[in-house]
Structure 1
């Protein structure tokens, strides 16, 4: 009975788990509101719709560029040099370069190449909230957030005032013939950047502005071409291009570019080179893979931290081994000195002395009674012959003595020590 009940509980859990997976799988996925500005993204803040309609607006082809600006313009210049020179050919060879992204960055090579490109009679359209510093310094313009110009206040009394931040912003064109009466409303948090009017160069033309006449779209002449600068790139995304109330702003802004001219749409600064995606870039692109990657990294760090802490042991301090040679010698000497007969101790001391003579004076055969040996020993050691005879007589006496007293052992030890001192 209990086994049957357990099986029913397990079956119920499996059914509930399956229902949960089915509901989670078939439920509507939330809209991805990441601001990618990529031309193949159909999410609200991609630019698929604008990129698809751009050839009809410009009445010419639109090419996607996945190379750095310097590389793209260098290749274009090489192709131009192969063509025949002439005004007609030069006009047909002109190109419009379009950049739509949140941040527009350049290095020194790209900046110089882009400026030369425009000076040769081409046009560049840049829609971004942040512009490169080199470009701002060269064209003499600057940007700022809308709230940093002049805050508006709603005053309840003279003592207190509260800053009002509008939730939307209204944009309109300044030039005639481009819907001057139309007004386009955008969320204030998404369209918060304006051009500083005082920073614009004298020849700049304001094409569009907000309700307080702060520029959002300007045209700056440079050489034979123009820079079109827009501080509201969000207006070119899918959600506002497909909305009837705001779609005309993007098309009217891009209509300033010359028609019947090929255009380049830059995707390098948003996607990089074609086929240049790394494995890490793929993992970080998709939310599920990105979350799994971060969880794996955090789990690995926690495992390393706690596992290393659990297995680590304190390394004990080992004291160096004591030198017991002197202690051993003293113990053995004490054993020999326990009795009054020191014959064995005297024999060992004599044998050690004879070994010293063999190794120190190179005498392999020691005959203590040989006169020639005594002469050689006196000559090699520098001790007088009388001293040698006295020491050897003492050694022979100690060897033949039936018993060695403390005084005799001490006398022998002093005589051997004196010989060692004098023979050095």
Structure 2
């Protein structure tokens, strides 16, 4: 290797190391992603909200619900105020029906989100647009206890208002709009309402940013958030939704975890650069010929067939069925990620939602498995029936109905 080549290599290495140092030490830009996740401390996370709720409601139980409302409210004994705050919320018809039944029993549901067309409650929303870019937005709660104070927000957002409300059962709690330089209102609409349903209430709000870290930590909006939260009942547990969150984290692979950490990411990049240099400088060396070693033949299938024929010839249908059920439970644990320690209605709902099979089919399959467990012997026809039910269950997961 001549002198010029060495100089080029050293210069290249120094440039790479300098770039890595600058990237790892530069100041990270502010992350304005609308997360609304309770564990996020970015401006649009709700970490501060969860901490402040404990101060605002010291004697009230506060619980985070990380499963869908449809499953959580399947237990009709649940009580509390179900609190939702996110950029967008899309409830299915069956799920929203459970929320309605939850409210009818005497509970409350608080929903804060942009855009809300709920036909069941006779509500519709649209975006309120300013006619002049210099106009400022305002928020105001109509309760006299708040003395008519108005708050504003210094960042752009989608300002939604209700265009249709159920006037017979609804109380208007807050409004929003725009004011010009002369402090005159140019646009105005309803953005916070309470509607009675059965023995409980729905609270619908169209400005979820008020509950984010940025707003609660910046005056005077922290008072607006506290005033809105004052409508929550202290005699009921507060159920904080953790399922419908834009920023809900899902680590799907080890690489996602590595690249999600600043220090692990740069360690990974430096390892790749080191491997590249090793290939460039060591790849020219001659290698000895590597002998070909024939791998051992896989006899697993042949062994399995031998054992299966032995059971079948001896008419040990019960043993075959027990093995099939064991493999089925292992399949549910590893592929559907559903624990099999307790097989009840909740277990059937989880398996049904994740496998694509109906609730009735799942219940029928596992109840038949329980019947086989309780018997000392089973017939050939019952073994065939069990096999067909398991194959149908797995085929639905792979190919759909």
**TM-score interval (norm. to shorter):** 0.5 to 0.7
Deviation by residue 1:346-376 (Cα, 9 ceiling, x = unmatched): xxxxxxxxxxxxxxxxxxxxxxxxxxxxxxx
Q: Distance in 2 between matches of 1:62 and 1:56?
A: 11
Residue 69 of structure 1 is matched in structure 2 by 69
Alignment of 1:48-67 (within 5 A): 48-59=47-58, 60-67=60-67
Q: CA deviation at 1:286?
A: 5.3
CA distance 1:272–1:184, change in 2 (3 Å):
closer
Would the aligned equivalents of 1:167 and 1:187 in 2 still touch at CA under 8 Å?
no
State the 4+ residue runs in structure 1 displaced beyond 3 angstroms: 2-6, 165-168, 271-274, 276-283, 285-289
Mark the CA change 1:48 to 1:171 in structure 2 (over 3 Å): closer, same or farther. same
SS of the residue aligned with 1:202? coil
Kindly state the Cα deviation for residue 261 of structure 1 after the two structures are TM-superposed. 2.4
For 1:43, the equivalent position in structure 2 comes to 42
Moved more, 210-219 or 225-234: 210-219
> Does the 8 Å contact 1:39/1:48 carry over to 2?
yes
Residue 21 to residue 188, structure 1, CA distance change in 2 (3 Å): closer
Question: How far 1:189 sits from its partner (Å)?
Answer: 3.2
Match of 1:238 in 2: 213
Cα offset for 1:184?
Answer: 1.3
Measure, in 1, the Cα distance between the counterparts of 2:99 and 2:255: 28
Deviation at 1:278, TM superposition (A): 4.1
TM normalised by structure 2 equals: 0.57
Query: What is the distance in 2 between the residues matched to 1:190 and 1:281?
Result: 34
Superimposed CA distance per residue, residues 314-333 of structure 1 (whole angstroms, 9 cap, x where no aligned partner): xxxxxxxxxxxxxxxxxxxx
Corresponding residue for residue 141 of structure 1: 123
Partner residue in 2 for 1:205: 171
The whole-number CA distance in structure 2 between the counterparts of 1:268 and 1:281 is 24
Q: Is the 8 A contact 2:35 2:247 kept in 1?
A: no
Relative to structure 1, the CA distance from residue 15 to residue 287 in structure 2 (aligned partners, 3 Å threshold; closer, same or farther) is closer
- Tell whether the 8 Å contact from 1:62 to 1:263 is kept in structure 2 after alignment: yes
- Kept in 2: contact 1:235–1:250 (CA 8 A): yes
Tell me, in whole angstroms, the C-alpha distance in 2 between the residues paired with 1:250 and 1:191.
18
For the structure 1 residues 278 and 6, does the alpha-carbon distance in structure 2 shift closer, same or farther, using more than 3 Å as the test?
A: closer
Report the aligned-residue RMSD: 3.3
Tell me, yes or no, if the aligned pair for 2:127 and 2:158 is still in contact at 8 Å: no
More helix by share: 1
Structure 1 pair 13–272 and aligned structure 2 pair: CA distance change class (3 A): closer
Q: 8 Å contact 1:142–1:200 — kept in the other structure? A: no
Contact 1:235 1:249 in 2 (8 A): yes
Structure 2 segments unaligned to the other structure (5+ residues): 178-186, 265-401
Q: Cα offset for 1:213?
A: 4.0
Shift of 1:48: 0.8
Corresponding pairs, count: 255
Map 1:371-390 to 2 at 5 A: none
Q: 1:55 offset after TM fit, Å? A: 2.2
CA offsets, 1:141-183, max 9 Å, x none? 1100002xxx64xxxxxxxxxxx235641111111113x3322
* 5+ long unaligned stretches in structure 1: 81-92, 153-163, 290-424
1:260 positional shift: 3.7
- Which has the greater radius of gyration? 1
| Structural mapping, 1:65-104, within 5 Å | 65-75=65-75, 77=76, 80=77, 94-104=79-89
Residue of structure 2 equivalent to 1:7: 6
